[in-house]
Structure 1
Amino acid sequence: MSPPPHRRPRRVDLVRLRRELPSDVATALDAYERHLSLERGLSPHTVRAYLGDAVALLVHLAAGTPGDATVESVDLLGLRSWLAAQHAEGASRTTMARRAASARALTAWAARTGLLAEDPGPRLNAPRPHRTLPVVVRPDQAGAALEAAAAGADQHDPVALRDRAVVELLYASGVRVAELCGLDLDDVDYSQRVIRVLGKGSRERTVPFGVPAERAVRQWADLGRSALVTERSHRALFLGARGGRLDPRTARRVVHDVMGAVPGSADVGPHGLRHSAATHLLEGGADLRTVQELLGHATLATTQLYTHVTVERLKAIHDRTHPRS
């Protein structure tokens, strides 16, 4: 039995519903998937989300019956109905905005490939997501966490060496966790202290890192990696316990564990460490354009969010310390 058309199915349901779509729709979605991953260079996670939204939209328009779904039935009224149903179910503004963007991506591709006579996407309005300030840790808290990771690596346990290198490099470079896990041995230039990163949209950039991170990564590469390496390792820089490329979920757990050991520190993962690195760069005098390049942001507007973080912290310090605040 298909889920009610007003409720977005869970991921496991979406996989099943995709298999139940008519063959021509399934073929179209396969082509759409190739477009997202190969032409647009989106991450596997983003591709899965976009495809899930496409399936949910088509099933909604077919009144919950996958066998009746067609791409040609997508119009502005249907798009609005799909978003309205999700709003009635309590979807957040951020979720609504993301799914509207996903729907526009589908209709733009369908119109360009001739599956739709015209693209209704540009006429679809959706609420703008709330811009919330990211949670960051203080420089002293980041330093305490890195010192604790270094102490844990003193016994040269391979996993402890890896964990220290992961946290040091994430904080030193501000790269995304997927970018870090995607690094190969050849992507690290120790003489220049830079890494070559493949970011969103397959955009390559060069990111510097400092002496402590160099020391940690060298120690991992020289002493720890050889203990975990297997035939599955290939040229991956960071490895999991079984020798395969380090999974981002494991890297997230590592960061949470390291930061959670610091009294009073916010519970942040790799993205919080990235936010913290960007904030600390700006507080140290770096300009927005430089931080934008380091983080790999496509637009300066994304980087400008961190200026609000630094202003809020300055205001908090002023309120706490000035006698006439």
Structure 2
Amino acid sequence: MTRPPGNNKPPLLPEQFLGAYELFLQYLISERRLAENSVEAYSADINGFLTYLARKRKKTFEEVNLKVIHNFLQNCLENNISHRSNARRVSALRTFFNFLVQRNLTADNPFVAVDLPKSGKKLPIALSVTEVSKLLKPPGLVTPISRRDTAMIFLLYSTGLRVSELVNLPQSAVNLTSCFIRVLGKGNKERLIPFGRQAKEKIEEYIDLGRPRILNGKRSNYLFVTNRGSCMTRLRFWQIIRKVALAVGIDKDISPHMLRHSFATHLLSHGADLRAVQMMLGHADISTTQVYTHVDQDRLKTIHKKFHPRG
């Protein structure tokens, strides 16, 4: 059970809450066919709210009103949960209560009257071209594991994959002849993404000289494998990329997602079409991709201010 704001031991959920919660998760998986990460995010947000209601001795959805919601959001803020996170929670709970109304599990959706907390638009952080070049040339001895890690970093920067897509990539999804990968992304939407010659070379080196030695006789459908024959976790790849960054002298809080941001930012700064970048990233809405144009505008403003005599 996801732990809600506060440090007290969470109470058991009333039967009505628990049944509706489980029914909603089944709906997200079977009918909306959301990705596992999305279902987990909904689960955490809704479970946190329902546990808060149980703490306040609420037993039915009819007891949820604007005052209860306001107190819940205030409790979140007092526990250092940001406006941005609260905005996501309100959105998730609004969807949850819409579901309850449609299934006749409650009469009204009180969240329709709640404005999303102001969060501001957080711009993605991209690495510079120089920093990416350093990541692509890690120091040290070449081993089967280092070949795998280097191939993963090359492919991530070359395609802008989400880290979950990268670590779960089947070997059959990679076409080394035409240099395309076939990705099943959020909402089970399929997309084709090209990758470059250098990424192809690193993948081929890993497949020929690294992957068989890591597997050591085991069989696996995944492209990037561990010595157990399974795919690695997202956390493990984050640890790998952080270790490589420190080894090459990049002293910042780097993450795999920053390479996805860098992929999009560098493409657009060199004149790539916005809709083409949208398709490669797998964004449903082009406004999500447009944030990268703001990143590049900010970079240009910084350059102008630094070098223009009247900047």
TM-score when scaled to structure 2? 0.90
Q: Deviations over 1:34-71 (max 9, x none)?
A: 12233333333332332232222223333444xx5334
Bigger Cα displacement from structure 2, 220-229 vs 279-288: 220-229
Residues 23 and 191 (structure 1), Cα distance of their counterparts in 2 relative to 1, 3 Å cut: same
User: Aligned equivalents of 2:42 and 2:213: distance in 1?
Assistant: 39
Partner SS, residue 136 of structure 2: helix
Whether 2:160 is the aligned partner of 1:174: answer: yes
Is the contact made by 1:58 and 1:70 (CA closer than 8 Å) also made in structure 2?
Answer: no
Match of 2:131 in 1: 141
Question: Offset at 1:81?
Answer: 3.0
Q: Which of 67, 80, 91 does residue 81 from structure 2 map onto?
A: 91
User: Aligned equivalents of 1:182 and 1:39: distance in 2?
Assistant: 23
Match of 1:158 in 2: 144
Question: Offset at 1:268?
Answer: 1.7
Partner SS, residue 101 of structure 1: helix
Count of residues in correspondence between the two structures? 309
Residues 59 and 144 (structure 1), Cα distance of their counterparts in 2 relative to 1, 3 Å cut: closer
Match of 2:53 in 1: 61
Matched letter for residue 130 of structure 2: D
Match of 2:5 in 1: 8
Match of 1:80 in 2: 70
Partner SS, residue 147 of structure 1: coil
Matched letter for residue 78 of structure 1: V
Percent pairwise identity: 35
User: Aligned equivalents of 2:38 and 2:49: distance in 1?
Assistant: 16
Question: Offset at 1:276?
Answer: 0.8
Q: Deviations over 1:9-55 (max 9, x none)?
A: 57x956xx4xx223443232221111223333333333233223222
Matched letter for residue 142 of structure 1: V
Question: Offset at 1:94?
Answer: 0.5
Match of 1:189 in 2: 175
* Unpaired segments ≥5 residues, structure 2: none
Matches within 5 A, 1:276-291: 276-291=262-277
Is the contact made by 1:141 and 1:265 (CA closer than 8 Å) also made in structure 2?
Answer: no
Matched letter for residue 84 of structure 1: Q
Q: Deviations over 1:202-222 (max 9, x none)?
A: 211111110111111122122
Question: Offset at 1:237?
Answer: 1.0
Partner SS, residue 99 of structure 1: helix
Question: Offset at 1:145?
Answer: 1.6
Match of 1:216 in 2: 202
Match of 1:29 in 2: 21
User: Aligned equivalents of 1:233 and 1:76: distance in 2?
Assistant: 55
Q: Which of 283, 290, 297 does residue 297 from structure 1 map onto?
A: 283
Matched letter for residue 128 of structure 1: K
User: Considering only aligned residues, what root-mean-square deviation do their CA atoms show, in Å?
Assistant: 2.5
Residues 140 and 59 (structure 1), Cα distance of their counterparts in 2 relative to 1, 3 Å cut: closer
TM-score when scaled to structure 1? 0.86
* Unpaired segments ≥5 residues, structure 1: none
Match of 1:122 in 2: 112
Question: Offset at 1:233?
Answer: 5.3
User: Aligned equivalents of 2:66 and 2:218: distance in 1?
Assistant: 48
Matched letter for residue 206 of structure 2: W
Question: Offset at 1:110?
Answer: 1.0
Matched letter for residue 29 of structure 2: S
User: Aligned equivalents of 1:274 and 1:268: distance in 2?
Assistant: 12
Whose RCO is larger (CA < 8 A, sep 6+)?
2
Residues 36 and 232 (structure 1), Cα distance of their counterparts in 2 relative to 1, 3 Å cut: farther
Residues 182 and 191 (structure 1), Cα distance of their counterparts in 2 relative to 1, 3 Å cut: same
